[in-house]
Chains A and B, each alone.
Chain A
Amino acid sequence: QKEVEQDPGPLSVPEGAIVSLNCTYSNSAFQYFMWYRQYSRKGPELLMYTYSSGNKEDGRFTAQVDKSSKYISLFIRDSQPSDSATYLCAMRPNAGNMLTFGGGTRLMVKP
């Protein structure tokens, strides 16, 4: 079993929809949680960064962390065709800098 599980999709939604992307993990030592967006043939771009449990909002994006359930989510409101990309969750413990990534969810937002 992988340390971080993420539904690979693809997830197809109409423009304007609310998108929910999720990851589950098994390592209780993970304390820092990130969401990256990766366009085709590009490097990952950091979207959201959270520490421990709770919510964080940035524009149309909201990140949620539930450490008791070992579950993190990224919500995208008013989705746009430009949001079409692969979304990667990543996490790491307090000690050490190595990021552990989920496999990525491919999102397609149709006009």
Chain B
Amino acid sequence: EAGVTQSPTHLIKTRGQQATLRCSPISGHTSVYWYQQALGLGLQFLLWYDEGEERNRGNFPPRFSGRQFPNYSSELNVNALELEDSALYLCASSLRQGAAETQYFGPGTRLLVL
């Protein structure tokens, strides 16, 4: 069974541009989570999507947004890129089974903002 997949693996952008990152969850998983792992800041929760709806949002500005498609894949968009957005962006997925969901992570997209 395939795990969580993310594309692209690496992305280089300049300040002010927009970045689009993509995630495909494990087959059968309906929840998708996005995390940012910046150097020195650790893993921080960004967004949670389930059944096409945004369910929760971390402490990030509105220029971080996303969506979940009918096939449960997801897209993270980062507008007006800033240098400090350089980080590893991780996507995770889980089954929606009450409170005991386990999140499985993809390999991440490494975003570099110049």
Give the number of chain B interface residues (Cβ < 8 Å): 25
Residues of B within 8 A of A36 (CB): 105
Supposing A95-B99, A96-B56, A97-B94 touch, asked if A43 and B42 sit within 8 A by C-beta, the answer is no
Contact B100 A99, beta carbon cutoff 8 Å: no
Contact A97 B31, beta carbon cutoff 8 Å: yes
Contact B42 A99, beta carbon cutoff 8 Å: no
Please give the distance in Å from B102's CB to the nearest CB on chain A: 6
- Is A17's beta carbon under 8 Å from chain B? no
A residues 51-105 in Cβ contact with B at 8 Å: 51, 88, 90, 94-104
Residues of A within 8 A of B43 (CB): 44, 88, 90, 99, 101, 104
Closest A residue to B31 using CB positions = A97
Residues of B within 8 A of A34 (CB): 102
Please give the distance in Å from A66's CB to the nearest CB on chain B: 21
Please give the distance in Å from B90's CB to the nearest CB on chain A: 5
- Is B107's beta carbon under 8 Å from chain A? yes
Across the interface, A104 reaches (CB within 8 A) one of B31, B42, B99, B106, namely B42
With the chains together, A58 CA to B102 CA distance in Å? 16
Residues of A within 8 A of B55 (CB): 97
* 10 cross-chain pairs, A with B, having the tightest CB-CB distances, nearest first: A43-B105, A101-B43, A103-B42, A43-B107, A98-B45, A44-B105, A43-B108, A94-B99, A43-B106, A43-B90
User: A residues bordering B, Cβ < 8 Å?
Assistant: 31-32, 34, 36, 41-46, 49, 51, 88, 90, 94-104
Known: A41-B110, A44-B105. 15 other contacts (CB 8 A): A32-B100, A34-B102, A36-B105, A43-B4, A43-B108, A45-B105, A49-B102, A90-B43, A97-B33, A97-B48, A98-B45, A98-B48, A99-B43, A102-B42, A104-B43
